[in-house]
Amino acid sequence: MDLALSQRERELSALGRRFCDEVLVPLEIVVDEHGELPMERRAALRQAVRDWGLAGINHSKEHGGLGLTMLEQTVIEEQLGRVTNGLWSCVWRPPVSLKYGTPAQIDAYLRPSIQGERRGCFAITEAEAGSDPRRVKTRAVRRNGEWLLSGEKWFVTSYNASDFIIVHAHVDDDPDKPTLFLVDKPARNMVHLRSPKFMHNFAFDHAELRFEETPVPEDRMLGKVGGGFDLTKSWFVEARLQIASHALGAAIRAAETANDYATHRHQFNRAIREFQGVEFMLADMAVEIFAAKTMLYRVAWEIDQGADPKRVHAHASALKLYCSEMAGRVIDKALQVLGGRGYMRENPVERLYRDIRVDRIWEGTSEIQRVVIGGQIRKRGLGIYSDWH
């Protein structure tokens, strides 16, 4: 069993770290002061992603991407996760569901999205539908050779950085017909209701939208009628690995910051790391990071080995649950080590503390992950998690 990273994987990890430190970290305070990345900064940052060779890390060379393995993507995403204020989202990952589009859709949406010439956002959550997508009320009705979408969507992340939206709707108001639609901006009869403020600041907004019989051409349906949930599940697996990667990177930066502070901060004529109370917190943080990184790299490796998609789905839920909650614990301890300095907004740990809380909510809450994990144990036995294959 060879658990060593290849030379290529180490190089990609180093590339991700340099990009984070040299390009993204200098923008952290700007985003925190403005609430999001100022419009006048966005074009230069998009070009930087291209110049550094990070455009399209999650898609195949066939479609213009980098053709990276999941483990190669993961070592980059882990390093990007060290940045605060959601600036990691500036390194775009076009939704995986786009690769299942028609040749025309791939040419019109996926290829330019990989190059950063277009960007899409995902609209699924609603006032009455979050963890249970069957409660979605947005409907799609076919009339006079086009689709008409009606409904309201919440938490449409990166709406103001996108020029199209992937909308999850029920055809004919039937929850057994979840279907995805590609909606270009600006769209007739689509209203941007607002972009509310949240606990964290983020590079881009999280919008609320209303569709009022918004017309969508027939050829903008993505996949088949009723196939929306399957396409969304594929996206969720990737998104959960991405969240786990970012959570790990955030935890490591917080731990590094706390470890450095504990070494140089002196009280009672000695470094505070020499006090057992502080030393034990650093030790607990290190063990949590060690466990999370081991789990993350294993799941990424399983995907690259062509593991059963059902097994991957089960493991991705466990991974997202553990890493998101691990990061919360580690960052909380890091802030405690830093004391009052950790509570200052100029300190990255304070920003990470705000940033990381949402990771236990979006792309499936911790409670939903436990439902998935419990269901997997009932269906397949504890071995789905306790065995090593």
The per-residue DSSP string of 105-133 comes to HIIIIIHHHHTTS--EEEE---SS-SS-G
- Rounded distance between C-alpha atoms, residue 208 and residue 229, angstroms: 21
* pLDDT at residue 349, as a whole number: 98
CATH of the domain at 257: 1.20.140.10
Q: By percentage, how much of the chain surpasses pLDDT 90?
A: 93
Q: Which domain holds residue 333?
A: 229-386
Q: How many residues does the chain have?
A: 389
Q: Same domain, yes or no, for 73 and 172? A: no
- Rounded distance between C-alpha atoms, residue 90 and residue 26, angstroms: 14
Residue 100 belongs to a domain: no
Q: Same domain, yes or no, for 286 and 366? A: yes
What DSSP state is assigned to residue 166? E
What total of structural domains would you count in the chain? 3
* pLDDT at residue 212, as a whole number: 97
Q: Same domain, yes or no, for 165 and 144? A: yes
For residue 20, give the 3-state DSSP assignment: helix
- Rounded distance between C-alpha atoms, residue 285 and residue 9, angstroms: 25
Residue 103 belongs to a domain: no
Tokens representing residue 348 in the block:
């990255």
Q: Same domain, yes or no, for 233 and 370? A: yes
Residue 139 belongs to a domain: yes
Q: Same domain, yes or no, for 141 and 285? A: no
Query: In 3D, which of 149, 6, 162, 147 has the Cα closest to residue 75?
Result: 6
Residue 2 belongs to a domain: no
Residue 113 belongs to a domain: no
Q: Same domain, yes or no, for 302 and 198? A: no
* pLDDT at residue 389, as a whole number: 74
Q: State the Cα angle at 131 between 128 and 137, rounded to 5°.
A: 35
Q: At which of 177, 195, 226 does a domain end?
A: 226
- Counting as low any pLDDT under 70, the low residues of the chain are 1
Q: Same domain, yes or no, for 165 and 291? A: no
Contact 54, 91 (CB under 8 A): yes
Q: Same domain, yes or no, for 208 and 263? A: no
Phi and psi of 7, rounded to 5°? -60, -40
| Residues 6 or more apart whose Cβ sits within 8 Å of residue 96 | 58, 59, 234, 235, 238
Q: What is the pLDDT of residues 149-166, one digit of tens each?
A: 999 999 999 999 999 999
Tokens representing residue 47 in the block:
């070009």
* pLDDT at residue 61, as a whole number: 96
For residue 36, give the 3-state DSSP assignment: coil
139-143 and 164-171 as β-strands: parallel, antiparallel, unpaired? Answer: parallel
Q: Same domain, yes or no, for 82 and 165? A: no
Residue 293 belongs to a domain: yes
Q: What separation, in Å, do the N-terminal and C-terminal C-alpha atoms of the chain show?
A: 12
CATH of the domain at 222: 2.40.110.10
Q: Same domain, yes or no, for 151 and 212? A: yes
Q: Same domain, yes or no, for 375 and 239? A: yes
**Dihedral of CA 346/12/284/282: which sign?**
negative
Residue 107 belongs to a domain: no
* pLDDT at residue 2, as a whole number: 81
For residue 209, give the 3-state DSSP assignment: strand
Q: At which of 210, 226, 242 does a domain end?
A: 226
Q: State the Cα angle at 344 between 246 and 37, rounded to 5°.
A: 50
Q: What is the pLDDT of residues 12-66, one digit of tens each?
A: 999 999 999 999 999 999 999 999 999 999 999 999 999 999 999 999 999 999 9
What DSSP state is assigned to residue 35? S
* pLDDT at residue 269, as a whole number: 95
Contact 157, 189 (CB under 8 A): no
- Rounded distance between C-alpha atoms, residue 373 and residue 367, angstroms: 10
Residue 334 belongs to a domain: yes
CATH of the domain at 54: 1.10.540.10
* pLDDT at residue 1, as a whole number: 67
* pLDDT at residue 215, as a whole number: 98
